[in-house]
Structure 1
Amino acid sequence: MVKTNAPSLWGDVIPWPGAQTHKHRRGRLGVVSGGPLRTGAARLSARAGLRTGAGLVRLLCPPDAARVVAGAVEAIMVDAFGTPGELATLTGPMQAVVIGPAAGLDEATVANLTAIADGAAGLVVDADALTLFAGRADALFALLDEHDVITPHEGEFERLFPGLLARGREAAAIEAAGRCGAVVVLKGSRTLIAAPDGRIVVQPEASPWLATAGSGDVLAGMIGGWRAQGMSAFDGSCAAVWMHAEAAARFGPGLIAEDLPEQIPHVLRSLR
């Protein structure tokens, strides 16, 4: 049965900090950046994860991008990596990692995802890290489990699951989650969140102002932020999708992706 996304589904498991909470207890999130001319998407994801509540967020960059990123962030930390093995070492202590937003459409991104998939962190796989597996989706699915999330729009979904959308979006999302063994967030005007066990939630029609570059990168970071704090892949995805839509509705006309993280505190306050 398809349920409608609302705080009543996941509000009771939001991990509000207590008086004794410190930043490491609130969770560590990593976001993998692309090259020096492709850092904006990762920065959007990282800021969204920090605003959502992750206690510590690190941007993980190729060496030539690290100086670009370091001059553009403040509370977010920056680490450079030169090899997939170095990236795996950096992500070892983290509870969640976002990979894909402008990560690069080359085999280096595949190698990086493969390297970090063996770790304990929950993965949020988006954008480039999905597109690269067109025609070889089974290789991606082998890296995933029920603690991970993939966040395709319909074009990316079709590359991973050719022809499946012909069954209808809801049936396709459920089947896709079963095939890949991870939570599927099928983005659109009515975003669907499907779990490998057959659960599915639909987000009521979202604000059209979300049709702007970078809004999906923000959503990936929000999911990562909830995962870092210990919410399950399914509940964290549902919470992030609802908050993302609510943030856009609050801002309204003129919205750009950079505005979304700044609306998150207002949305959180309404839930509190």
Structure 2
Amino acid sequence: MLRWALALTATYLVAEVVGAFVFNSLALLSDAAHMMTDVAGLVIALMAIHLGKKAADDKRTFGYKRLEILAATFNAILLFVVAMYILYEAIQRFREPQSIQSTGMLIVAVIGLVVNFVSMRLLTAGKDESFNVKGAYLEVWADMIGSVGVILGALAIRFTGWTWVDPVIAIGIGLWVLPRTWVLLKGTINVLLEGVPGGLKLPEIRSTIAAIPGVAGVHDLHVWSMASDEINCTAHVTLGEGVDPDSVRVAVTRTLDERFGIEHSTIQTEAPSQACEDDQHLHR
């Protein structure tokens, strides 16, 4: 279903870009930019599913999941540039109004609404089974709103002759895309910098580990994500006197999984006399 939805949206994306230039409509071009997020979202979803099945090897010990993040970063940067270009062109249209072929604009927008509706129906079945599919589903649903806006704009231009409606709609869609693009870019950069995933707080994780029976201290704690669906954690845990290291490791890994959703954790236990200091592990 993802492939069918991708084929539909990608084909319409090309048609909408062509229509935007043929009919001289910035609103169509702006909607095409938003449609690009749908296509990118579907590509990333397919990539995540494919790469999730590809095992790590001796050269790439963490596997290939980070490619999903690289693709999303490129997509966000491209969308940001396109959105800024559309906003610039919209301002120019206010200064120098241009004629718009509202009939062609209306036809392209109606086709877009139909394509988005069909794509949304195709993705409905899998939206509750995968976060990636759900994200793509929400993107398509949001793009339907953009198509409706372009349709209303085309009707307004056709019956009133108000050509300024076109750049207004373009600005509206552009301002809608920019914040979402920034959120996406900020999230992907955080992953690439191996920052703490959103929704998790390092002090809370540290105090939770420290509260586990047998744990005397926690240091050199790192939490990061390889991809959107994989969180990793490493930590040095100082043990109390006479504590079994294996039981503490099991307790810590289970707590990290159940409390914070961290399924991949590497815990190094240390006896009190062997505990190292945080400054021995500073990354310079």
When normalised by structure 1's length, the TM-score is 0.24
Structure number with bigger Rg: 2
Higher relative contact order (CA 8 A, sep 6+): 1
Q: Which has the higher helix share?
A: 2
